[in-house]
């Protein structure tokens, strides 16, 4: 491919550069095997092609394929010799890339480094400028993907622990949808658990009608907090609060009675059912308000209660198939042999469990939605539950669906312990958002030219964007320390930095009085003469690859890292090169690059559920 005549440029629809390069490598590897240079099993080739990736350092070209090392080792040959053989065959493949490959490469023993031809890059960028999808190809073979996320236990206020599932799940749904998959989002509310037993019990003893009328969730929250302390609190916790201590003396059996109330609800007791129906709208109204503020929507909200009529059938079926059996009155699936604790699906008192509902839910989803995958965006502490759930589902004959626990770590405070208020309570989600917005207002207020009403909107967008981004930019499986100061920094890998880049980009068009639509229609040629222009263009052209990588491991932080790279390349470009004040053809080309960068950043943030502002 290192010929003099420029090979024909593949159309933008031909996929990402990486895909196109992988098909060149595929042909080369097949050739290598056919010519007997090394033995390669056809089945190995996809994994070898996955090794073709962007380089970490631009001095080694744009993409690189390291597979010569592994292949050489297997064949007992020198990696460099294999690399030369691959590179030779790449040269024969039609395409638009040129190799810095061996021989004579400065890079060492077996890497095949490839550079995208400038003409091809310019063509891809021009195509992206005119493309609604910004050059991102849609998947060829879309899947139906259920995303089970957020799923709070209602009747207790949402707290900081709910942010991760909500934000990560929403981002994944947006990204997978944009990739072209058919996504179905489902909020699997915990609306049937012991927390209702607590509220029912407390309401009957010290519920306050007037308080409920004035602020339903406030009153339910008060009852919940009180009863939880009574029923589950440590003795010192109870003793510390005189009002709780008094109640504890009055109701020594609270813990047992709460369970009875839950059992009565589950058995269909009319009073408890009526109260549940009365409380639910208030609980839902409360979380709905938060979802609106977070700009999170669900296709379905089928809580645990929805699946209750199916649970007895699940247990009966698992027993009939001899997958579950009785043990000390309870019924469980013995996954790891008889002496290991089973996956319980019915307690000795007849109550069904979280596990039973999840099994019923899988079957229901399969029947109604026929998904190819179900993603559960849930705290890593539920890892064992999902391992057992998936193993049981498999034995139950559920196949053809990929069940994935998309796990995440804990949000920590400065002290490295789970994030709490100073008083030691969990931090309510609402007040968490409020504080973020309040602090963002200080950032936004710096610009006096922004009107007051607009300023509130800006503060909300920046504050909530900061909180979401701070979560999404973490490798989801690790814990992270929550810090308002860090997340609102204007420099660094923060939403504010990205939002600022977008606002700055808007400013270029405003200042130059350039109509962006018209600019796109003009489709002036893209000039990539300066390395800073080329670096920005190459980064932007990777959008599709990045989204593919997000999907591969369900990691939104791959997208945030790339957005940061784009914003940095843009900043370098913007600071060094004149845009409005340069001659044609550079002027139109640079404006087109600005236009595309702004749209790409905006789209990237939108896929993370983060808004942008015109000015900040
Ligand atoms: N309600 C559960 C909790 O708060 C999470 C539910 C997750 N989804 C599921 N299908 N199990 O812990």
For residue 279, the CA-to-ligand 1 centroid distance in Å is 20
Mean pLDDT of 272-286: 93
Please give the torsion angle defined by the CA atoms of residues 59, 21, 131 and 170, in that order, rounded to the nearest 10 degrees: -80
Q: Long-range contacts: 82-87, Cβ < 8 Å, 24+? A: 82/32, 82/37, 82/38, 82/110, 83/109, 83/110, 83/111, 83/112, 85/32, 85/37, 86/25, 86/28, 86/29, 86/32, 86/112, 87/112
Q: Are 181 and 142 in contact (CB under 8 A)?
A: yes
pTM of this structure: 0.93
Q: Inform me whether the pLDDT recorded for 96 exceeds 70.
A: no
The SS3 call for residue 79 is: helix
- Total count of domains within the chain: 2
Q: Are 223 and 337 in contact (CB under 8 A)?
A: no
Asked if residue 127 is part of any domain, the answer here is: no
Q: How far apart are the first and last CA of the chain?
A: 47
Tell which atom from ligand 1 comes closest to the C-alpha of 379: 12
Residue 9's pLDDT band (boundaries 50, 70, 90)? very low
Is the domain of 199 the same as that of 283? yes
Q: For the segment 172-219, what is each residue's pLDDT rounded down to a tens digit? A: 999 999 999 999 999 999 999 888 999 999 999 999 999 999 999 889
Domain end marker among 241, 263, 295: 295
Residue 156's pLDDT band (boundaries 50, 70, 90)? confident
Task: Provide φ and ψ at 332, rounded to 5°.
Answer: -145, 165
CA distance 20 to 544: 12
Is the domain of 196 the same as that of 290? yes
CB of 148 shorter than 6 A to ligand 1: yes
Asked if residue 492 is part of any domain, the answer here is: no
Q: Inform me whether the pLDDT recorded for 290 exceeds 50.
A: yes
CATH number at residue 65: 3.30.1360.70
Range in 72-86, 394-408, 509-523 with the lowest mean pLDDT: 72-86
Q: For the segment 120-155, what is each residue's pLDDT rounded down to a tens digit? A: 999 999 999 999 999 999 999 999 999 999 999 988
Is the domain of 103 the same as that of 194? no
Please give the torsion angle defined by the CA atoms of residues 253, 256, 257 and 258, in that order, rounded to the nearest 10 degrees: 120
Is the domain of 111 the same as that of 201? no
CB of 378 shorter than 6 A to ligand 1: yes
Asked if residue 585 is part of any domain, the answer here is: no
Residue among 198, 106, 107, 121 nearest 155 (CA): 198
Asked if residue 36 is part of any domain, the answer here is: yes
CB of 191 shorter than 6 A to ligand 1: no
Q: Inform me whether the pLDDT recorded for 4 exceeds 50.
A: no
Domain end marker among 116, 145, 164: 116
Domain end marker among 246, 279, 295: 295
Residue environment code for 503-527, b if the CB has 16+ CB neighbours within 10 A, otherwise e: bbbbebbeeeebebeebbeeebebb
Asked if residue 484 is part of any domain, the answer here is: no
- Report pLDDT for 300: 98
CA distance 275 to 429: 26
Q: Inform me whether the pLDDT recorded for 62 exceeds 50.
A: yes
As a residue count, the chain comes to 616
Specify the pairing of strand 182-186 against strand 144-148: parallel
CA distance 372 to 144: 5
Asked if residue 181 is part of any domain, the answer here is: no
CB of 376 shorter than 6 A to ligand 1: yes
What is the residue-averaged pLDDT of the chain? 91
Asked if residue 132 is part of any domain, the answer here is: no
Asked if residue 89 is part of any domain, the answer here is: yes
**Domain around 236:** 190-295
Q: Which of 158, 190, 305, 403 to mutate to test the pocket of ligand 1 (most atoms within 8 A of CB)?
A: 190
- Report pLDDT for 479: 94
For residue 385, the CA-to-ligand 1 centroid distance in Å is 10
**Cis-peptide, bond into residue 103, ω within 30° of zero:** yes
Mean pLDDT of 18-25: 92
Using CA positions, which residue lies closest to atom 11 of ligand 1?
Answer: 358
């Amino acid at each position: 491919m290192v010929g003099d005549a420029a090979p024909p440029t593949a159309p933008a629809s031909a996929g990402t550069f990486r895909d196109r390069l992988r098909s060149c490598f595929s042909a080369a590897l097949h050739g290598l095997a056919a010519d007997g240079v090394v033995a390669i099993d056809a089945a190995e080739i996809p994994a070898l092609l996955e090794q073709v990736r962007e380089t970490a350092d631009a001095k080694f070209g744009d993409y690189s394929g390291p597979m010569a090392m592994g292949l050489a080792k297997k064949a007992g040959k020198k990696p460099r010799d294999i690399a030369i053989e691959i590179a030779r065959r790449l040269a024969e493949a039609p395409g638009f890339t040129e190799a810095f490959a061996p021989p004579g490469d400065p890079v060492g023993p077996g890497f095949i480094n490839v550079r995208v031809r400038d003409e091809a890059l310019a063509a891809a960028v021009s195509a992206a400028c005119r493309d609604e999808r910004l050059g991102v190809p849609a998947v060829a073979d879309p899947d139906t993907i259920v995303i089970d996320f957020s799923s709070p236990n209602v009747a207790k206020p949402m707290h900081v622990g709910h942010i991760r599932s909500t934000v990560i799940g929403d981002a994944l749904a947006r990204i997978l949808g944009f990739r072209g998959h058919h996504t179905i989002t489902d909020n699997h509310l915990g609306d049937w658990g012991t927390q209702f037993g607590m509220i029912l019990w407390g309401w009957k003893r010290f519920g306050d009608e007037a308080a409920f009328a004035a602020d339903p969730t406030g009153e339910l929250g008060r009852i919940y907090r009180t009863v939880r302390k009574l029923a589950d609190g440590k003795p010192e916790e109870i003793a510390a609060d005189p009002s709780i201590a008094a109640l504890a003396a009055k109701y020594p059996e609270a813990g047992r009675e709460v369970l009875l109330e839950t059992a009565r609800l589950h058995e269909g007791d009319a009073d408890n059912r009526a109260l549940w129906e009365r409380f639910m709208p208030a609980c839902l109204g409360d979380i709905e308000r938060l979802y609106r503020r977070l700009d999170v929507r669900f296709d379905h909200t089928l809580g645990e209660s929805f699946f209750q009529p199916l649970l007895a059938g699940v247990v009966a079926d698992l027993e009939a198939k001899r997958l579950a059996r009785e043990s000390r009155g309870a019924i469980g699936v013995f996954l790891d042999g008889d002496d290991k604790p089973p996956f319980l699906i019915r307690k000795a008192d007849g109550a069904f469990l979280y596990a039973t509902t999840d099994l019923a839910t899988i079957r229901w989803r399969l029947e109604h939605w026929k998904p190819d995958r179900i993603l559960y965006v849930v705290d890593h502490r539920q890892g064992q539950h999902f391992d057992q759930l998936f193993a049981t589902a498999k034995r139950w004959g559920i196949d053809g669906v990929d069940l994935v626990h998309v796990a995440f770590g804990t949000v920590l405070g400065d002290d490295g312990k789970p994030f709490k208020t100073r008083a030691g309570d969990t931090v309510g989600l609402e007040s968490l958002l409020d504080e973020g917005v309040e602090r963002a207002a200080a950032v936004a207020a710096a610009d006096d030219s922004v009107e007051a009403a607009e300023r509130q909107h800006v503060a909300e967008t920046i504050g909530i964007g900061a909180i979401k981004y701070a979560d999404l930019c973490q490798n989801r499986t690790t814990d992270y320390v929550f810090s308002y100061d860090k997340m609102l920094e204007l420099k660094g890998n923060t939403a504010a930095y990205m939002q600022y880049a977008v606002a700055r980009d808007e400013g270029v068009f405003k200042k130059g009085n350039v109509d962006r639509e018209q600019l796109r229609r003009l489709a002036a040629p893209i000039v990539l003469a300066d390395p800073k222009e080329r670096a920005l263009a190459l980064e932007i052209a990777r959008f599709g690859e990045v989204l593919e990588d997000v999907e591969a491991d369900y990691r939104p932080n791959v997208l945030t890292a790339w957005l940061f790279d784009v914003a940095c390349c843009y900043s370098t470009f913007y600071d060094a090169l004149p845009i409005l004040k340069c001659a044609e053809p550079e002027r139109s080309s640079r404006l087109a690059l600005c236009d595309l960068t702004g749209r790409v950043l905006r789209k990237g943030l939108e896929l993370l559920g983060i808004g942008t502002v015109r000015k900040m």
